[in-house]
């Protein structure tokens, strides 16, 4: 459980850190790269949430709340990437 929790924390930090770094970059191509890295960490987190639910660390209700929030973040990242591509 400790390893899974630790990995999930690293994913969350990676997601937010890469979004922040992307906003701090002037080059749209580099921004997009940071947003894609963030998306990769988000998908990894989603997988870990599924594992947590499957092994009983998360009940169904909490899983659904958190997973649905992650889907919203995924949509936001897709929009950031789309808008950044229009600036290229």
pLDDT value of position 1: 77
Judge whether 77 and 16 are in contact, CB under 8 Å.
no
DSSP letter assigned to residue 67: H
Closest CA to 38 of 23, 56, 55, 59: 23
Q: How many residues does the chain have?
A: 88
Task: Spell out the domains of the chain, with CATH numbers in brackets.
Answer: 2-86 (1.20.1440.60)
Tokens matching residue 59? 């009940």
Determine if the pTM surpasses 0.85: yes
Dump pLDDT digits (tens) for 26-75: 899 999 999 999 999 999 999 999 999 999 999 999 999 999 999 999 99
What pLDDT score was predicted for residue 75? 98
Cβ atoms within 10 A of the Cβ of 9, count?
Answer: 11
The encoded tokens of residue 13 equal 């930090």
The structure tokens 């749209």 sit at 28
């Amino acid at each position: 459980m400790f390893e899974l929790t630790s990995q999930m924390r690293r994913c969350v930090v990676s997601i937010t850190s890469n979004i922040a770094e992307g906003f701090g970059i002037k080059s749209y191509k580099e921004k997009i790269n940071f947003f894609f890295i963030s998306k990769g960490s988000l998908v990894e987190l989603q997988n870990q949430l599924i594992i947590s639910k499957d092994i009983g660390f998360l009940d169904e209700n909490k899983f659904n709340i958190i997973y649905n929030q992650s889907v919203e973040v995924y949509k936001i990242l897709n929009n950031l990437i789309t808008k950044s591509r229009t600036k290229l």
